């Protein structure tokens, strides 16, 4: 009796050979939903024989470089103001200091001040790296009043300069002067002077101190 086993032949199935697209559970490629392959493969679209890949997510404005945002947000600079900035601390009316002439001091929200008088002193910073600076001026009118002016400049065309100004009348008949004198007398036992009024208007910031040094040493506090 021979030990060799006869060869076993499997009969083809009634439906013919199994297609390579047929899944083990009997589902064909035609029966499969597109979402089944989308989980594992990048989706493609055939357009007239060309394969077009689905583009990635669009970049948001937050993804743009800081330099690009800076270029779009760049402000326009006034050529006239840029020339004024380049001459700091010199001002256009430096030559008028000590000269008696007709003066006009601009005020925002109020009538401008026009008078005959003298520009006693003016001050501006040495530079304005951010394109903004202030200008301080003190005038004396022919009638003995004092005008304090503060101008805030900017080189940018979309921003406006601002102008502040006040008048101090040292005459006792002046109502504002009487009120200031009364308050001063109660606390310091001496009448308020134009220098006191200047300090009340400008304060003691570095630019104000530079202005005071051009006028008189009386702005300094002397101690023994």
- Per-residue pLDDT of 12-53, as tens digits, reads 444 444 544 445 455 554 455 544 554 444 444 444 555 555
The count of C-alpha atoms lying within 13 angstroms of the C-alpha of 112, restricted to the half-sphere facing its C-beta, is 8
Token pair 């006191």 is found at 196
Instruction: Identify the H or E element spanning 165.
Output: strand 162-168
Domain, as residue range, for 198:
79-217
> SS3 for 45?
strand
- Cis before 89 (ω within 30): yes
Q: Which two tokens stand for residue 22?
A: 């047929």
At 109-168, the pLDDT tens digits run 999 999 999 999 999 999 999 999 999 999 999 999 999 999 999 999 999 999 999 999
Residue 89 lies in a domain: yes
Would residue 63 count as lying in a domain?
Answer: no
User: How many Cα atoms within 13 Å fall on the side-chain side of residue 216?
Assistant: 11
Helix axes 194-202, 206-215, angle to 10 degrees: 160
Asked if residue 55 is part of any domain, the answer here is no
Provide the pLDDT confidence category of residue 199 given band limits of 50, 70 and 90. Answer: very high
Distance in angstroms (rounded) separating the CA atoms of residues 206 and 45: 70
Compare 146 and 10 and report the one with higher pLDDT.
Answer: 146
Indicate whether 151 belongs to any domain: yes
Residue 105 domain-assigned (yes or no)? yes
Instruction: Determine, yes or no, domain membership for 24.
Output: no
User: Can you tell me the distance from the alpha carbon of 222 to that of 224, in angstroms, rounded to the nearest whole number?
Assistant: 7
The DSSP secondary-structure symbol of 74 reads P
Please count the structural domains in the chain: 1
The whole-number pLDDT of residue 171 equals: 80
Count CB atoms within 10 A of the CB of residue 77: 14
* Structure-block tokens of residue 16: 């013919």
pLDDT confidence tier of residue 192, bands split at 50, 70 and 90: confident
3-state SS, 106-128, equals CCCCCCCEEEEEEEEEEECCCCC
Region 202-214 average pLDDT:
96
Burial 33-66 (b: 16+ CB within 10 A, else e): eeeeeeeeeeeeeeeeeeeeeeeeeeeeeeeeee
Contacts of 3 (CB under 8 A, 6+ apart): none
Domain assignment present for 1: no
Would residue 123 count as lying in a domain?
yes
Which percentage of the chain shows pLDDT scores above 90?
A: 52
Do 146 and 128 form a contact (C-beta atoms < 8 A)?
no
């Amino acid at each position: 009796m021979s030990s060799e086993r006869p060869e076993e032949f499997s009969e083809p199935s009634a439906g013919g050979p199994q297609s390579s697209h047929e899944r083990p559970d009997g589902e064909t490629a035609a029966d499969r939903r597109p979402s089944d392959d989308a989980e594992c493969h990048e989706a493609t679209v055939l357009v007239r024989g060309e394969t077009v890949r689905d583009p990635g997510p669009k970049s948001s404005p937050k993804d743009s470089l800081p330099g690009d945002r800076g270029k779009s947000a760049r402000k326009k600079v006034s050529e006239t103001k840029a020339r004024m900035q380049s001459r700091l601390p010199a001002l256009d009316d430096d030559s008028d200091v000590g000269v008696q002439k007709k003066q006009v001091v601009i005020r925002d929200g109020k009538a401008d001040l026009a008078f005959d008088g003298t520009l006693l002193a003016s001050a501006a910073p040495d530079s304005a790296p951010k394109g903004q600076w202030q200008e301080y001026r003190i005038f004396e009118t022919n009638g003995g009043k004092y005008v304090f002016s503060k101008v805030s400049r900017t080189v940018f065309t979309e921003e406006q300069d601002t102008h502040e100004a006040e008048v101090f009348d040292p005459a006792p008949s002046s109502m504002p002067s009487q009120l200031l004198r009364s308050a001063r007398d109660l606390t310091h036992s001496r009448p308020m002077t134009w220098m006191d009024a200047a300090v009340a208007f400008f304060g003691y910031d570095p630019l104000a101190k530079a202005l005071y040094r051009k006028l008189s040493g009386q702005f300094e506090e002397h101690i023994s």
